[in-house]
Amino acid sequence: MTLFGLHPELRPAAEALLQLAQESGVRVYINSVRRSRAQQAKLYARYLRGQNPYPVAPPGTSLHELGLAFDISTYPDVLPQLGAIWRSWGGRWSPADRVHFSV
């Protein structure tokens, strides 16, 4: 998966963050970028059934639907460090939803 679908104003910062991680020897996996409302509804239903360990916004309220968020995982796990960098650049990240990076 790529960052295709991410809002054009957000994409350069997201690419820079992922490149920084990769240059440090971290493997980065892009889990989700832009989602349709139907995709968001399916994920939200899974979340309500307890089948998703991370929070999922109700359909119509997710920044993923607008291309303003992306979810990643890394190996080794350096999400807190990447989250701190992302926040220093003006983005939003929280340990409560550690895979989620947004505006």
Q: For 22-63, what is each residue's pLDDT tens digit?
A: 999 999 999 999 999 999 999 999 999 999 999 999 999 999
Would you report the helix, strand and coil content of the chain in percent, each value rounded to 5? 40, 15, 45
What domain count does the chain have? Answer: 1
Q: Is residue 39 part of a domain?
A: yes
Q: Is residue 2 part of a domain?
A: no
Tell whether 5 is covered by a domain: no
The verdict on residue 51 lying in a domain is yes
1 found inside a domain: no
Q: What count of other Cβ atoms lies within 10 Å of the Cβ of residue 59?
A: 18
Q: Which amino acid would we find at residue 91?
A: G
pLDDT band at residue 1 under the 50/70/90 scheme: low
Annotate 42-102 with DSSP letters as a single string.
HHHHHHHTT--SS--PPTTS-GGGGT-EEEEEEES--HHHHHHHHHHTT-B--GGGTTEEE
| Range of the structural domain that residue 18 is part of | 11-102
Query: What pLDDT was estimated at residue 97?
Result: 96
CATH number at residue 81: 3.30.1380.10
Q: pLDDT tens digits for 59-86?
A: 999 999 999 999 999 999 999 999 999 9
Is residue 6 domain-resident?
no
The answer to whether residue 27 is domain-embedded is yes
Q: Has residue 9 got a pLDDT over 90? A: yes
**Distance, CA of 43 to CA of 17 (rounded, Å):** 25
Residue 98 in domain: yes
Q: How confident is the model at residue 2 (pLDDT cuts 50, 70, 90)?
A: confident
